């Protein structure tokens, strides 16, 4: 995101907002995603020790709400009161820890909106004029003839209505050059960068003054203009003010100074213009400091199509919660979407990630650790002995993953951080397989058994603490199994090794993530299904393949690639570079020092502009889980695989 990205761990405050959601319908996956993302970031920054404030709420004025109320046969206020409960109840069920929930029908908000309007009107920033143009009810915005796309709204594609009427206008155009300069001088103001460029592209065209009123004869549901009672406020001029009215603007200057400016306004990309053009100009005209960052995330798609009620492809959060649980739903949304980009939602990918990351990896690791400690170590955290190389490698991998998660939060790459943590969990599972604690117990090697089980349990302590903001309920279960107190400790304790206290009683492990059943098995067919036979090769063909043991000297991600890792490997005295598509399964730091198996005589190839001189061997199963092939015991790099 740029070299001037502030280190969020050094911030003494963190104020994050979601958009406020329209109360004309029930919440969907888009609402849930933004709110869970804000919650995860707020929880992380509480771990970082920041004075954190998390605001969400509902947008309860405007024509959409009025029409929804008319359709339902109730008043707009009744519509708002009925629908807001759906959001509030869902946020409780999703474990959302918002510090405030603002409704734009509340007096504490309406009075601030009116005071801002009156001040701008008194200073000549708002004027009255006749308007003749096209109006989109869905977006509640006016458009000129040239703005239309095929005669429809350029934003949502719906039909527009011809409107001619007197209205009040905000002198937005006079701030165009200021806004362009501000955005160019503050590269973190709009993120990701391509959304910043999108806003600058929008500002290349002359900026029009903003119509900020609606006549009551057409729309009665809104905040009344303080200087003309025949009009109500344009819903966006009303709604955006919630970010400052909720934290004491014009009412409690001490509180406002403590919270403002916002660290992040989280928004969907469909409301980019209102937040990156209207809002900063409104603040500038009112003499209020700009927020730090407006971050626009992508859409959840069904296949390659945006989810929408009209297409009937909207995913209900409640459906996914009922099947996999709240924490698994939170984890999937955070792990699956690269912030800023669109992501596709389908039940198959959900189930695959659930089984792979949560059931097979994390849940399995807890079960192994707790059962071994219960069966062989008196159901207490053991006292470790001197650490061997394999123990140090695990410790280093886990601590590197912990630092990686912290960095990922700072860089708004939650998905990347979670992949790093899951990589550490897989490394801990491989560590157990390599050290075979069951054999140590059978052979009476108690001291070594204690060290191995302490290291595995300590890995779980660190990983579970860093997963706590994402899966708070499940991580509470995991941590209580290890005898840890409720809640996640400060992040400092999660980036240091040795936090488990020997002698602490443990508990029997729950089944954290019951494995999801796969698709029903196919029914027998009358005629046997013919499958193409794998081509056979001769022994001479096989002898052409040179399989060698290599040691990973270094590993790093390939820029602009989500899948590729660049490995520097040692094959005997030879050192070479290979690229491997395992970045979604292994964190780079977990591979350094490991022995792997490679095809050593493969013709070199270029991937993403970089040379790959060999190929790593790995296995994958139907769940999508992938494992690198390694020798069963240590052999020298360069050894031939026969």
Q: How far are the Cα atoms of 9, 73, 299, 373, 487 from residue 407, in angstroms, in the given order? A: 9, 51, 24, 33, 22
Q: Is residue 24 part of a domain?
A: no
Structure confidence by residue, pLDDT tens digits, 326-347: 999 999 999 999 998 888 888 8
Q: Pull the structure tokens for residue 411.
A: 């860089």
Within this chain, do residues 357 and 413 fall inside the same structural domain, yes or no? yes
Q: Are residues 121 and 234 in the same domain?
A: yes
What percentage of the chain carries pLDDT values higher than 70?
Answer: 89
The secondary structure element, H or E, covering residue 620 is strand 618-620
Q: pLDDT-derived band of residue 136, with 50, 70 and 90 as boundaries? A: confident
CATH number at residue 398: 1.10.730.10
The DSSP line for 376-395 is HSTTBPPPP----HHHHHHH
Q: Are residues 355 and 424 in the same domain?
A: yes
Domain assignment of residue 95, yes or no: no
The string of pLDDT tens digits covering residues 156-185 is: 788 888 888 899 999 999 999 999 999 999
In this model, does residue 302 exceed pLDDT 90? no
* Separation of alpha carbons 409 and 417, rounded Å: 7
- In which residue are the tokens 């190389």 written? 389
pLDDT in tens, 359-392: 999 999 999 999 999 999 999 999 999 999 999 9
CATH number assigned to the domain comprising residue 142: 2.170.220
DSSP conformation class of 506 = -
Q: Is residue 222 part of a domain?
A: yes
Domain region containing 125: 106-172+209-245
Which of the four pLDDT bands, split at 50, 70 and 90, describes residue 634? low
Phi then psi dihedrals of residue 298, to 5 deg: -85, -170
Token readout for 281 is: 């100009």
More confident residue, 522 or 32: 32
Question: Is 80 exceeded by the pLDDT of residue 17?
Answer: yes
The per-residue pLDDT for 444 is 95
Domain edge (last residue) among 245, 262, 291:
245
112 with 165, same domain?
A: yes
* pLDDT value of residue 627: 73
C-alpha–C-alpha distance, residues 567 and 583, integer Å = 11
The predicted structure's pLDDT at residue 309:
59
Residues 442 and 544 in one domain: no
Angle at 604 between CA 550 and CA 546, to 5 degrees: 45
- Where does a domain end: 245, 266, 292? 245
Question: Within a domain: residue 284?
Answer: no
Going by pLDDT thresholds of 50, 70 and 90, the confidence category of residue 526 is very low
Torsion from C-alpha of 207, 209, 213, 217, nearest 10 degrees: -90
Mean pLDDT of the region 572-580: 86
Sign of the alpha-carbon dihedral angle for 590, 592, 597, 599: positive
**In a shared domain, residues 477 and 547:** no
User: What was the pLDDT predicted at 18?
Assistant: 98
Bond from prior residue into 192 cis (ω within 30 degrees of 0): yes
pLDDT value for 617: 87
pLDDT at residue number 3:
32
Q: What number of residues does the chain have?
A: 642
Instruction: Please check the confidence at residue 310 and state whether its pLDDT lies above 70.
Output: no
Least confident of 258-267, 582-591, 615-624: 615-624
- Residue 597 and residue 630 in contact, taking contact as beta carbons nearer than 8 Å: yes
Residue 1 has pLDDT above 60, yes or no: no
| 393 part of a folded domain | yes
Task: Please state, for a pLDDT cut of 90, what percent of the chain lies above it.
Answer: 62
Q: The domain that contains 609 carries what CATH number? A: 2.40.50.140
- Measure Cα distances from 27 to 14, 84, 143 in Å: 26, 10, 28
The verdict on 478 and 600 lying in the same domain is no
pLDDT given at position 518: 55
Domain identity same for 117 and 234: yes
**Other beta carbons within 10 Å of 55:** 23
Tell which residue, 34, 47, 101, has the closest CA to residue 468. Answer: 47
In this predicted structure, the answer to whether residue 60 has a pLDDT above a threshold of 70 is: yes
Strands of the sheet containing 343-344, edge to edge, are 305-306, 300-302, 343-344
Model confidence band, residue 524 (pLDDT cutoffs 50, 70, 90): very low
For residues 467 and 407, membership in a common domain is answered with yes
Q: Span 566-595, mean pLDDT? A: 81
Query: What is the rounded CA–CA span in Å between residue 76 and residue 68?
Result: 8
Angle at 247 between CA 244 and CA 253, to 5 degrees: 95
Whether 420 maps to a domain, the answer reads yes
- Can you give the pLDDT at residue 392? 97
Token pair for 230: 């025949």
Residue 621 has pLDDT above 80, yes or no: no
List beta partners, residue 577: 568
| pLDDT bracket for residue 500 (50, 70, 90) | very high
Do residues 489 and 358 both lie within one domain? yes
- Report the number of distinct structural domains present in the chain: 3
Tokens read off for 170? 């905000």
Three-state secondary structure along 106-153? CHHHHHHHHHHHHHHHHCCCEEEEEEEEEEECCCCEEECHHHCECCEC
Cis peptide before 261 (omega within 30 of 0): yes
pLDDT value, residue 232: 96
Last residue of a domain, one of 190, 218, 245: 245
Residues near 116 by beta carbon (within 8 Å), at least 6 away in sequence: 241, 250, 282, 286
In this prediction, residue 313 carries a pLDDT of 59
Q: Pick the residue with more confidence: 533 or 14?
A: 14
Question: Model's pTM, two decimal places?
Answer: 0.78
Rounded CA gap, 562 and 304, in Å?
A: 19
> What's the Cα-to-Cα distance from 19 to each of 69, 154, 242, rounded to whole Å?
22, 21, 9
**Is residue 285 domain-resident?**
no
Mean pLDDT of the chain, nearest integer: 88
Q: Is residue 571 part of a domain?
A: yes
- Which residue is associated with the tokens 């912290």? 406
Place of tokens 């990918």: 349
Q: How many Cβ atoms from other residues are within 10 Å of residue 113's Cβ?
A: 24
Residues 448 and 585 in one domain: no
Do residue 555 and residue 433 come from a single domain?
no
């Amino acid at each position: 995101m740029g070299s001037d990205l502030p280190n969020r761990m050094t911030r003494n405050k963190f104020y994050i907002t979601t958009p406020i959601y329209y109360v004309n319908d029930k919440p969907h996956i888009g609402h849930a995603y933004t709110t869970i993302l804000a919650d995860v970031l707020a929880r992380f920054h509480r771990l970082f020790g920041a004075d954190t404030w998390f605001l969400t709420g509902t947008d309860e004025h405007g024509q959409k709400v009025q029409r929804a109320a008319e359709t339902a046969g109730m008043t707009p206020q009744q519509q708002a009161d009925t629908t807001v409960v759906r959001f509030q109840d869902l946020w409780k069920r999703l474990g959302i820890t918002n510090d405030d929930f603002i409704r734009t029908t509340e007096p504490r908000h309406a009075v601030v909106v009116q005071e801002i309007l009156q001040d701008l009107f008194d200073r000549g920033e708002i004027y009255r004029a006749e308007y003749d143009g096209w109006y989109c009810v869905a977006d509640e915005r006016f458009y000129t003839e040239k703005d239309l796309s095929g005669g429809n709204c350029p934003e949502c594609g719906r039909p527009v209505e011809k409107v001619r009427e007197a209205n009040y206008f905000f002198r937005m155009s006079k701030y165009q050059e200021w806004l362009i300069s501000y955005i160019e001088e503050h590269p973190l103001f709009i993120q990701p960068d391509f959304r910043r460029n999108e806003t600058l592209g929008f500002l290349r065209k002359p900026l029009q003054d903003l119509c900020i009123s609606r006549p009551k004869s057409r729309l009665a549901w809104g905040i009344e203009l303080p200087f003309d009672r025949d009009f109500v406020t344009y819903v966006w001029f009303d709604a955006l003010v919630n970010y400052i009215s909720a934290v004491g603007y014009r009412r409690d200057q001490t509180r406002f100074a403590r919270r403002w400016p916002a660290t992040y306004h989280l928004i969907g990309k469909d409301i980019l213009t209102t937040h990156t053009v209207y809002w900063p100009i409104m603040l500038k005209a009112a003499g209020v400091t700009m927020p730090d960052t407006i971050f626009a995330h992508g859409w959840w798609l069904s296949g390659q199509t945006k989810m929408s009620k009209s297409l009937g492809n909207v995913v209900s959060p409640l459906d996914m919660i009922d099947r996999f649980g709240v924490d698994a739903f939170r984890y999937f949304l955070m792990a699956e979407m690269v912030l800023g980009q669109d992501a596709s939602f389908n039940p198959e990918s959900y189930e695959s990630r659930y089984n792979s990351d949560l059931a097979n990896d994390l849940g399995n690791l807890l079960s192994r650790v707790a059962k071994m400690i219960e069966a062989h170590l008196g159901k207490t955290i053991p006292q470790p002995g001197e650490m061997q190389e394999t123990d140090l490698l695990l410790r280093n991998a886990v601590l590197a993953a912990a630092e990686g998660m912290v960095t990922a939060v700072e860089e708004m790459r939650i998905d990347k951080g979670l992949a790093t943590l899951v990589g550490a969990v897989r490394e801990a599972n491989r560590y157990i397989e390599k050290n075979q604690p069951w054999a140590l117990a059978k052979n009476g090697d108690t001291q070594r058994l204690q060290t191995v089980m302490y290291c595995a349990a300590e890995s779980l302590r660190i990983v579970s603490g860093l997963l706590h903001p994402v899966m708070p309920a499940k991580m509470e279960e995991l941590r209580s199994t290890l005898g840890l107190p409720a809640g996640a400790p400060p992040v400092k304790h999660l980036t240091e090794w040795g936090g488990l206290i020997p002698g602490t009683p443990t508990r029997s492990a729950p089944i954290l993530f019951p494995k999801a059943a796969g698709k029903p098995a196919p029914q027998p067919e009358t005629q046997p299904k013919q499958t193409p036979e794998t081509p056979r090769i001769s022994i001479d063909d096989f002898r052409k393949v040179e399989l060698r043991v290599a040691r990973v000297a270094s590993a790093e991600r390939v820029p602009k690639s989500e899948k590729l890792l660049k490995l520097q490997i040692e094959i005997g005295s030879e050192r070479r570079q290979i690229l491997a598509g395992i970045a979604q399964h292994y964190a780079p730091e977990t591979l350094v020092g490991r022995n792997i198996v490679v095809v050593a005589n493969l013709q070199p190839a270029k991937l993403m502009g970089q040379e790959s001189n060999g190929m790593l061997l790995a296995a994958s199963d139907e769940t999508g889980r992938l494992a690198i092939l390694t020798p069963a015991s240590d052999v020298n790099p360069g050894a031939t695989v026969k």
